[in-house]
Amino acid sequence: MLPAELQNEPEDWKTIMEDFKRCILPGLTHWQSPHFHAFYPSQTSYSSIVGETLAAGLGVVGFSWICSPVCTELEVIMMNWLGQLLNLPKAFLNCGEGNGGGIIQGSASESILVAVLAAREQAVRRLRVQHPDLTEAEIRGRLVAYTSDQSNSAVEKAGILGAIKMRLLPADETSILRGSTFIQAVEEDVANGLFPVICVATLGTTGTCAYDNLAEIGPYCNEHNIWLHIDAAYAGAALCLPEYTHIMHGAERADSLNFNLHKWMFVNFDCCAMWFKDAGSVTKSFSVDRIYLQHQFQGHSKAPDYRHWQIQLGRRFRSLKVWITLRTMGAEKIRELIRFHIQLANRFEQYVRTDERFEVLCSTLALVCFRLKGDDARSKQLLENITKRKKIFMIPATYQGKFIIRFMICGIDPQMHDIEYAWDEVRSQADLLLDVDRNRNEVTQAIESDAPEEPKVYEKSCEIGKITESLTGIVLSNDEKGQ
Tell me the per-residue pLDDT of 334-365, one tens digit each, with 9 for 90 and over: 999 999 999 999 999 999 999 999 999 999 99
Are 280 and 412 contained in the same domain? no
The residue count of the chain comes to 483
Burial class of residue 193 in the structure, from the number of CB atoms within 10 Å of its CB (0-12 exposed, 13-18 middle, 19+ buried): exposed
pLDDT at position 422 is 96
pLDDT at position 464 is 41
Find the range with the poorest average confidence among 259-263, 296-300, 462-466: 462-466
Tell me the per-residue pLDDT of 194-222, one tens digit each, with 9 for 90 and over: 999 999 999 999 999 999 999 999 999 99
Give which of 332, 333, 397 is closest to 367, Cα–Cα: 397
For residue 377, name the pLDDT band (cuts at 50, 70, 90): very high
Q: How many CB atoms lie within 10 A of CB 338?
A: 21
CATH code (residue 374): 3.90.1150.10
Are 131 and 70 contained in the same domain? yes
Are 366 and 317 contained in the same domain? no
25 lies in a domain?
A: no
40 lies in a domain?
A: no
Are 321 and 390 contained in the same domain? no
pLDDT at position 286 is 67
Q: Longest Cα pair distance anywhere in the chain, in angstroms? A: 98
Q: Provide the sign of the torsion angle of the four alpha carbons 151, 154, 160, 163, taken in this order.
A: negative
- Domain count for the chain, please give it: 2
pLDDT at position 84 is 94
CATH code (residue 183): 3.40.640.10
200 lies in a domain?
A: yes
pLDDT at position 311 is 75
Residues 226 and 220: beta-carbon distance below 8 Å: yes
Mean pLDDT of the region 120-127: 92
Q: Model-level pTM?
A: 0.84
186 lies in a domain?
A: yes
Tell me the per-residue pLDDT of 139-181, one tens digit each, with 9 for 90 and over: 999 999 999 999 989 999 999 999 999 999 999 999 999 999 9
50 lies in a domain?
A: no
Beta strands in 291-408 (DSSP E): 358-364, 367-372, 395-399, 402-408
pLDDT at position 184 is 96
CA distance 143 to 139: 7
Domain-terminating residue out of 279, 308, 329: 329
3-state secondary structure of 38: coil
46 lies in a domain?
A: no
Tell me the per-residue pLDDT of 433-459, one tens digit each, with 9 for 90 and over: 988 666 655 555 554 555 444 434 333
Domain that holds residue 380: 332-437
Are 361 and 247 contained in the same domain? no
**What does 276-305 look like in DSSP terms, one character per residue?**
ES-HHHHHHHH----GGG--TTTT-TTS--
Are 104 and 232 contained in the same domain? yes
pLDDT at position 341 is 95
Are 271 and 176 contained in the same domain? yes
For residue 287, name the pLDDT band (cuts at 50, 70, 90): low
Tell me the per-residue pLDDT of 403-438, one tens digit each, with 9 for 90 and over: 999 999 998 899 999 999 999 999 999 999 988 666
Are 352 and 319 contained in the same domain? no
Task: Find the catalytic residue in 80, 94, 152, 260.
Answer: 152
Pairing type for strands 367-372 and 402-408 reads: antiparallel
220 lies in a domain?
A: yes
* 256 or 477, which is more confident: 256
CA distance 469 to 308: 66
Give which of 244, 248, 289, 237 is closest to 409, Cα–Cα: 237
Mean pLDDT of the region 237-265: 93
Domain-terminating residue out of 277, 307, 329: 329
Are 281 and 342 contained in the same domain? no
Question: Is pLDDT of 390 > 90?
Answer: yes
Are 241 and 364 contained in the same domain? no
Domain-terminating residue out of 419, 437, 455: 437
Are 325 and 337 contained in the same domain? no
Residues 406 and 369: beta-carbon distance below 8 Å: yes
Q: Active site includes 152?
A: yes
Are 252 and 356 contained in the same domain? no
CA distance 407 to 62: 39
Question: Is pLDDT of 308 > 90?
Answer: no
Mean pLDDT of the chain: 86
DSSP H/E element including 321: helix 318-353
Q: Provide the sign of the torsion angle of the four alpha carbons 341, 345, 346, 347, taken in this order.
A: positive
473 lies in a domain?
A: no
